[in-house]
Amino acid sequence: MNRLSRNILLIPGPLTTSRLVKKIAPLDYSAREDILINKIRNIRSNLLKISGLDKKGWTSVLFQGSGTMANEAVISSLPQKSQIDVFSNGIYGDRLAEISNRYDMLNKFSKIDHRAKITGEIVERNIKNSHSTHIALIHHETTTGILNDLESICDVAKKYNKKIILDAISSFGGVPIDIQKLDIDYLVGSSNKCLHGYPGLGFVIVKRDSLEENKGCGRTLTLDLYDQYIDLHQKEQFRYTPPVQVISALDTSLTELVEEGGVEARHDGYKVLNDIVYDELIVDGFSPYIRKFNCSPICSTYTIPNHIKDFNFGTFAKELRDHNIVLYPSPIPNDRVIRIGNIGDITTNELYESLFIMKKLINQSKYVYKLK
């Protein structure tokens, strides 16, 4: 088996970036020069453009750091006496609860089975007698690849007058989200997932009415959502040193997304790749850990075939890495489950070749059960 000609990251982010992103991103800029200010302006504008939002009712706020930091910026900047009902079916939803609890805002934590999607029915059952002000959840829980039922959840949130904090870190840009129709108050994303940029930027797309309520409420200095917005709005600059190369990468990758046809087109491309993963693994005895109709087109989890014995993911991952393929272990506490992401700048041929190598390695004699 030959090594692939470049690194192929079969994970839900960070991911394999385009050649143009790799070419543009390393260039050096000052944090205060016009070319970088223009890139920041373009990013903020394109985030709204691909979301179908106008600048009168919405804005985008960029933060140095990960998507998790942007989540914390939102929660730590909520008005006094805010209380959050958090819903989780994976480790990233658990993290939302942990952040909320750190700021003494966790009203109720509803832990759902990680193989079940969160629905409006589940949310209503847990909030109809709640005194919370907000609900928070993950859209795409990459613990398993499950995609939660956002439309029914948002309908229930409206019914009970709850503001919505949506972690769309691993879905934004790859799954259509009608933010305006769903009346989402805070949507959190990051540069290194479906937007195909480098890690290092988190962002919040926020209703201006909700943002005004955050004024003077920040409980931290660096993660104050309103203060960060003010500097970006008035000076078009970050308050503190920005990740210059990451900004260049995201500016380029967002332009590529727009030219590609936007979120719908990227979603369709992901679906093609995700179907290839499914078809290629099912035929060799892998079984979906989550029912396919509950999953996103971004990543999926599979149980390895029964005939595979003594499987060690660490060893397997090292062997894949020798072929320029990167696979992460699933966060699920089951060593027979693997998780495969199919986002990034990956061709169908590269995916087919990666899956061929993966199946060849996993069926090596050292893993396969031998009949006596």
Indicate which CATH number applies to the domain containing 267: 3.90.1150.10
Whole-prediction pTM value? 0.96
Give the pLDDT of residue 211. Answer: 98
Residue 314 lies in a domain: yes
Q: Last residue of some domain: 240, 260, 280? A: 260
The strands making up 163-167's β-sheet, listed across from edge to edge, are 58-64, 201-207, 186-190, 163-167, 134-138, 84-88, 106-111
Residue 1 lies in a domain: no
Q: What is the DSSP string of 220-285?
A: SSTT-HHHHHHHHHHTSS-SS---HHHHHHHHHHHHHHHHHTHHHHHHHHHHHHHHHHHHHHHTTT
pLDDT tens profile 216-275: 999 999 999 999 999 999 999 999 999 999 999 999 999 999 999 999 999 999 999 999
145 and 156 part of one domain: yes
Please, what is the average pLDDT of the chain?
95
Average pLDDT, stretch 45-49? Answer: 97
Residue 369 lies in a domain: no
172 and 129 part of one domain: yes
Residue 371 lies in a domain: no
Domain residues for the domain of 250 are 20-260
Residue 133 lies in a domain: yes
Number of domains into which the chain is organized: 2
148 and 278 part of one domain: no
Average pLDDT, stretch 309-334? Answer: 91
- Between residues 366 and 166, the one the model is more confident about: 166
